[in-house]
Amino acid sequence: MICPSCHSPNSRSGFICSDSAVRQFITSYYNKDHLFESECLRTTVYTCANCGCHFHNPFPSEKILSELYSNTICSRKSYERYFSRKKTRNHLFSILLNIIAFYLGSFSKQKPFLLDYGCGWGQSLDYARVSGFSLYGLEISPSKSLYLHGKGYPVFSSVDEIPLGILSAYPSLILLQQVLEHLPDPSQHIRAISNHISPGSIIYITVPPYKHSQLNARAIFSKGALQPIEHLINYSRRSMNHLASHNGLQMISLSSLVRYPPSYPNSISYFPVYAFLSIYSLFRPGTYFFYKQ
Protein backbone atom coordinates (compact mmCIF):
# COMPACT_ATOMS: atom_id res chain seq x y z
CA MET A 1 0.00 0.00 0.00
CA ILE A 2 1.41 3.42 -0.99
CA CYS A 3 1.84 5.86 1.89
CA PRO A 4 0.08 9.19 1.12
CA SER A 5 2.71 11.13 3.08
CA CYS A 6 6.10 9.81 1.93
CA HIS A 7 4.89 7.62 -1.02
CA SER A 8 6.72 4.55 0.26
CA PRO A 9 5.17 1.22 -0.87
CA ASN A 10 6.06 -0.44 2.43
CA SER A 11 2.99 -0.26 4.66
CA ARG A 12 1.36 -2.88 6.86
CA SER A 13 -2.32 -3.25 7.69
CA GLY A 14 -3.26 -2.87 11.33
CA PHE A 15 -7.01 -2.56 11.87
CA ILE A 16 -10.08 -3.19 9.71
CA CYS A 17 -13.08 -0.88 10.10
CA SER A 18 -16.12 -2.79 8.81
CA ASP A 19 -18.84 -1.07 6.83
CA SER A 20 -21.39 -1.63 9.60
CA ALA A 21 -19.05 -0.27 12.30
CA VAL A 22 -18.34 2.88 10.30
CA ARG A 23 -22.07 3.42 9.68
CA GLN A 24 -22.83 2.97 13.36
CA PHE A 25 -20.17 5.59 14.20
CA ILE A 26 -21.55 8.03 11.62
CA THR A 27 -25.11 7.65 12.93
CA SER A 28 -24.10 8.23 16.55
CA TYR A 29 -21.53 10.95 15.94
CA TYR A 30 -23.38 13.12 13.40
CA ASN A 31 -26.83 12.20 14.75
CA LYS A 32 -28.06 11.45 11.25
CA ASP A 33 -29.37 8.21 9.77
CA HIS A 34 -29.15 6.85 6.22
CA LEU A 35 -26.00 8.71 5.19
CA PHE A 36 -23.98 7.46 2.22
CA GLU A 37 -26.27 4.45 1.71
CA SER A 38 -25.03 3.76 -1.81
CA GLU A 39 -21.36 3.77 -0.76
CA CYS A 40 -19.19 1.08 0.82
CA LEU A 41 -17.55 2.60 3.93
CA ARG A 42 -15.27 -0.32 4.84
CA THR A 43 -11.69 0.81 5.39
CA THR A 44 -8.38 -0.54 6.68
CA VAL A 45 -5.93 1.45 8.79
CA TYR A 46 -2.34 1.04 7.61
CA THR A 47 0.98 2.05 9.14
CA CYS A 48 3.83 3.17 6.90
CA ALA A 49 7.05 1.29 7.65
CA ASN A 50 9.11 4.20 6.29
CA CYS A 51 7.70 7.31 7.98
CA GLY A 52 5.41 5.81 10.61
CA CYS A 53 2.17 7.61 9.73
CA HIS A 54 -1.21 5.86 10.04
CA PHE A 55 -3.73 6.17 7.23
CA HIS A 56 -7.07 4.83 6.05
CA ASN A 57 -7.41 2.96 2.77
CA PRO A 58 -9.44 3.35 0.70
CA PHE A 59 -10.14 7.03 1.22
CA PRO A 60 -13.77 8.25 1.04
CA SER A 61 -14.99 9.15 -2.43
CA GLU A 62 -15.33 12.75 -3.60
CA LYS A 63 -19.10 12.34 -3.30
CA ILE A 64 -18.85 11.38 0.37
CA LEU A 65 -16.43 14.20 1.24
CA SER A 66 -18.57 16.76 -0.56
CA GLU A 67 -21.70 15.61 1.27
CA LEU A 68 -19.87 15.52 4.60
CA TYR A 69 -18.54 19.07 4.55
CA SER A 70 -21.52 20.64 2.79
CA ASN A 71 -24.52 19.07 4.52
CA THR A 72 -23.65 16.55 7.23
CA ILE A 73 -21.67 18.55 9.79
CA CYS A 74 -23.98 20.77 11.85
CA SER A 75 -22.94 24.41 11.33
CA ARG A 76 -24.33 25.58 14.68
CA LYS A 77 -22.52 22.94 16.71
CA SER A 78 -19.34 23.51 14.70
CA TYR A 79 -19.52 27.26 15.40
CA GLU A 80 -20.08 26.77 19.15
CA ARG A 81 -17.28 24.24 19.43
CA TYR A 82 -14.84 26.40 17.49
CA PHE A 83 -15.26 29.45 19.71
CA SER A 84 -15.19 27.53 22.99
CA ARG A 85 -11.52 26.62 22.67
CA LYS A 86 -9.17 27.41 25.52
CA LYS A 87 -8.32 31.10 25.79
CA THR A 88 -4.76 30.29 26.91
CA ARG A 89 -3.98 28.65 23.58
CA ASN A 90 -5.58 31.51 21.68
CA HIS A 91 -3.48 34.04 23.57
CA LEU A 92 -0.28 32.11 22.84
CA PHE A 93 -1.20 31.90 19.17
CA SER A 94 -1.79 35.66 19.08
CA ILE A 95 1.71 36.25 20.49
CA LEU A 96 3.15 33.86 17.93
CA LEU A 97 1.47 35.76 15.07
CA ASN A 98 2.96 39.02 16.33
CA ILE A 99 6.45 37.47 16.32
CA ILE A 100 6.03 36.08 12.79
CA ALA A 101 4.59 39.38 11.52
CA PHE A 102 7.69 41.14 12.88
CA TYR A 103 9.93 38.53 11.24
CA LEU A 104 8.22 38.78 7.85
CA GLY A 105 8.13 42.57 8.08
CA SER A 106 11.95 42.61 8.09
CA PHE A 107 11.90 41.66 4.38
CA SER A 108 9.72 44.48 3.12
CA LYS A 109 7.87 47.64 4.10
CA GLN A 110 4.70 46.02 2.76
CA LYS A 111 2.21 44.34 5.09
CA PRO A 112 3.09 40.63 5.26
CA PHE A 113 0.59 38.33 3.53
CA LEU A 114 -1.23 35.55 5.35
CA LEU A 115 -3.22 32.77 3.70
CA ASP A 116 -5.38 30.71 6.05
CA TYR A 117 -5.81 27.43 4.19
CA GLY A 118 -9.05 26.00 5.55
CA CYS A 119 -9.92 29.01 7.70
CA GLY A 120 -13.10 27.63 9.31
CA TRP A 121 -14.98 30.32 11.22
CA GLY A 122 -12.08 32.75 10.91
CA GLN A 123 -10.74 32.90 14.45
CA SER A 124 -7.14 32.92 13.20
CA LEU A 125 -8.00 35.63 10.68
CA ASP A 126 -9.30 37.76 13.56
CA TYR A 127 -5.99 37.43 15.40
CA ALA A 128 -3.93 37.94 12.24
CA ARG A 129 -5.77 41.15 11.39
CA VAL A 130 -4.75 42.59 14.77
CA SER A 131 -1.14 41.50 14.08
CA GLY A 132 -1.06 43.56 10.86
CA PHE A 133 -1.26 40.91 8.13
CA SER A 134 -2.90 41.33 4.73
CA LEU A 135 -5.39 38.49 4.83
CA TYR A 136 -6.70 35.82 2.48
CA GLY A 137 -8.61 32.66 3.30
CA LEU A 138 -9.66 29.37 1.71
CA GLU A 139 -12.82 27.64 2.93
CA ILE A 140 -14.97 25.09 1.11
CA SER A 141 -17.88 25.10 3.58
CA PRO A 142 -20.63 27.40 2.21
CA SER A 143 -21.91 28.40 5.68
CA LYS A 144 -18.45 29.30 6.97
CA SER A 145 -17.51 31.11 3.77
CA LEU A 146 -20.71 33.18 3.91
CA TYR A 147 -20.02 34.07 7.54
CA LEU A 148 -16.48 35.23 6.74
CA HIS A 149 -17.57 37.27 3.74
CA GLY A 150 -19.97 39.02 6.09
CA LYS A 151 -17.00 40.02 8.25
CA GLY A 152 -15.23 41.49 5.23
CA TYR A 153 -12.59 38.80 4.74
CA PRO A 154 -11.50 37.87 1.17
CA VAL A 155 -12.25 34.14 1.26
CA PHE A 156 -12.08 31.75 -1.70
CA SER A 157 -13.85 28.41 -2.11
CA SER A 158 -11.21 26.62 -4.20
CA VAL A 159 -7.45 26.65 -4.67
CA ASP A 160 -7.82 27.81 -8.28
CA GLU A 161 -9.43 31.08 -7.14
CA ILE A 162 -6.58 32.09 -4.83
CA PRO A 163 -4.29 34.79 -6.30
CA LEU A 164 -1.19 32.76 -5.50
CA GLY A 165 0.99 35.26 -7.37
CA ILE A 166 0.76 37.68 -4.45
CA LEU A 167 2.49 35.11 -2.24
CA SER A 168 5.60 35.06 -4.46
CA ALA A 169 6.33 38.78 -4.12
CA TYR A 170 7.35 38.73 -0.46
CA PRO A 171 7.75 36.10 2.28
CA SER A 172 4.31 35.07 3.54
CA LEU A 173 2.71 33.02 6.29
CA ILE A 174 0.50 30.06 5.33
CA LEU A 175 -1.73 28.50 7.98
CA LEU A 176 -2.91 24.89 7.70
CA GLN A 177 -4.55 24.26 11.04
CA GLN A 178 -6.22 20.86 11.42
CA VAL A 179 -6.41 20.59 7.63
CA LEU A 180 -3.86 18.05 6.37
CA GLU A 181 -5.48 15.09 8.11
CA HIS A 182 -8.60 15.69 5.97
CA LEU A 183 -6.79 15.73 2.61
CA PRO A 184 -6.40 12.54 0.51
CA ASP A 185 -3.29 13.91 -1.26
CA PRO A 186 -1.40 16.21 1.13
CA SER A 187 1.67 16.42 -1.12
CA GLN A 188 -0.38 17.98 -3.89
CA HIS A 189 -1.47 20.84 -1.64
CA ILE A 190 1.94 21.38 0.00
CA ARG A 191 3.60 21.33 -3.43
CA ALA A 192 1.15 23.91 -4.82
CA ILE A 193 1.90 26.22 -1.90
CA SER A 194 5.66 25.65 -2.06
CA ASN A 195 5.74 26.46 -5.78
CA HIS A 196 4.14 29.86 -5.25
CA ILE A 197 5.64 31.21 -2.02
CA SER A 198 8.89 33.17 -1.96
CA PRO A 199 12.03 32.21 0.02
CA GLY A 200 11.69 33.13 3.67
CA SER A 201 8.03 32.11 3.79
CA ILE A 202 6.67 29.99 6.61
CA ILE A 203 3.99 27.30 6.61
CA TYR A 204 2.43 26.77 10.03
CA ILE A 205 0.80 23.34 10.35
CA THR A 206 -1.19 21.73 13.12
CA VAL A 207 -2.47 18.14 13.00
CA PRO A 208 -3.91 15.79 15.65
CA PRO A 209 -1.08 14.54 17.91
CA TYR A 210 0.50 11.27 16.81
CA LYS A 211 0.13 8.24 19.07
CA HIS A 212 1.43 4.73 18.52
CA SER A 213 -1.39 3.15 20.52
CA GLN A 214 -4.29 4.41 18.43
CA LEU A 215 -4.91 1.36 16.30
CA ASN A 216 -7.86 -0.10 18.19
CA ALA A 217 -11.62 0.16 17.87
CA ARG A 218 -12.10 2.36 20.93
CA ALA A 219 -9.62 4.96 19.71
CA ILE A 220 -10.60 4.95 16.04
CA PHE A 221 -14.38 5.13 16.52
CA SER A 222 -14.25 8.38 18.46
CA LYS A 223 -13.52 12.03 17.77
CA GLY A 224 -9.82 11.33 17.45
CA ALA A 225 -6.84 11.43 15.15
CA LEU A 226 -8.13 8.56 12.98
CA GLN A 227 -11.91 8.88 13.14
CA PRO A 228 -13.50 7.40 10.00
CA ILE A 229 -14.49 9.59 7.02
CA GLU A 230 -13.01 12.87 8.34
CA HIS A 231 -9.47 12.08 9.52
CA LEU A 232 -7.70 10.18 6.77
CA ILE A 233 -4.06 10.40 7.91
CA ASN A 234 -2.36 10.62 11.32
CA TYR A 235 1.11 12.14 10.90
CA SER A 236 4.23 11.34 12.86
CA ARG A 237 7.06 13.84 13.11
CA ARG A 238 9.04 11.69 10.67
CA SER A 239 6.22 11.71 8.12
CA MET A 240 5.92 15.50 8.37
CA ASN A 241 9.65 15.79 7.73
CA HIS A 242 9.26 13.65 4.58
CA LEU A 243 6.34 15.80 3.45
CA ALA A 244 8.45 18.94 3.77
CA SER A 245 11.64 17.68 2.13
CA HIS A 246 9.81 16.08 -0.83
CA ASN A 247 8.25 19.44 -1.65
CA GLY A 248 11.27 21.75 -1.46
CA LEU A 249 10.77 22.81 2.15
CA GLN A 250 12.64 22.47 5.39
CA MET A 251 11.03 21.52 8.69
CA ILE A 252 12.39 23.78 11.41
CA SER A 253 11.90 24.12 15.15
CA LEU A 254 9.88 27.06 16.45
CA SER A 255 12.90 28.62 18.13
CA SER A 256 14.74 28.66 14.78
CA LEU A 257 12.58 31.58 13.68
CA VAL A 258 14.84 34.00 15.51
CA ARG A 259 17.65 33.00 13.13
CA TYR A 260 15.75 33.40 9.82
CA PRO A 261 17.01 36.21 9.60
CA PRO A 262 18.44 37.38 12.97
CA SER A 263 15.56 39.80 13.56
CA TYR A 264 16.33 40.25 17.24
CA PRO A 265 19.90 41.62 17.41
CA ASN A 266 19.98 42.60 21.09
CA SER A 267 19.74 40.40 24.16
CA ILE A 268 16.75 42.24 25.63
CA SER A 269 14.44 41.25 22.77
CA TYR A 270 16.17 38.05 21.63
CA PHE A 271 15.96 35.89 24.74
CA PRO A 272 12.27 36.43 25.64
CA VAL A 273 11.30 35.59 22.05
CA TYR A 274 13.59 32.56 21.94
CA ALA A 275 12.20 31.31 25.27
CA PHE A 276 8.59 31.75 24.12
CA LEU A 277 9.17 29.88 20.86
CA SER A 278 11.03 27.11 22.69
CA ILE A 279 8.09 26.34 25.00
CA TYR A 280 5.26 27.04 22.56
CA SER A 281 5.20 23.47 21.23
CA LEU A 282 4.64 22.16 24.78
CA PHE A 283 1.21 23.79 24.70
CA ARG A 284 0.51 22.82 21.08
CA PRO A 285 1.39 19.18 20.39
CA GLY A 286 1.12 18.28 16.71
CA THR A 287 2.50 21.68 15.61
CA TYR A 288 5.07 21.92 12.79
CA PHE A 289 6.82 24.69 10.89
CA PHE A 290 7.90 24.37 7.25
CA TYR A 291 10.35 26.95 5.89
CA LYS A 292 11.02 27.94 2.26
CA GLN A 293 14.76 28.53 1.78
The pLDDT of residue 116: 96
* CATH classification code of 84-221+233-291: 3.40.50.150
Q: Are 6 and 51 in contact (CB under 8 A)?
A: yes
Distance CA 60, CA 17 (A): 13
Q: Global pTM?
A: 0.89
The closest of 287, 289, 230 to 258, measured between CA atoms, is 289
In the chain, where the domains are located: 11-77, 84-221+233-291
For the chain, the C-alpha Rg in angstroms (whole number) is 19
The pLDDT of residue 267: 47
Burial 62-93 (b: 16+ CB within 10 A, else e): eebbebbbeebeeeeeeeeeeeeeeeeeeebb
**pLDDT tens for the chain, residues 1 to 293:** 899 888 899 998 888 899 998 888 888 887 776 678 878 889 999 999 999 899 999 998 888 887 777 766 666 666 666 666 655 567 888 989 998 888 888 777 788 899 999 998 998 999 999 999 999 999 988 888 999 999 999 999 877 787 767 778 888 999 999 999 999 899 999 998 898 898 889 999 999 988 765 577 777 887 778 888 889 999 989 999 999 999 999 998 877 766 655 455 444 466 777 788 878 877 788 899 999 98
DSSP letters spanning 57-118: ESPPPHHHHHHIIIIIS-HHHHHHHHTTS-HHHHHHHHHHHHHHHHHHHTT-SSPPEEEEET
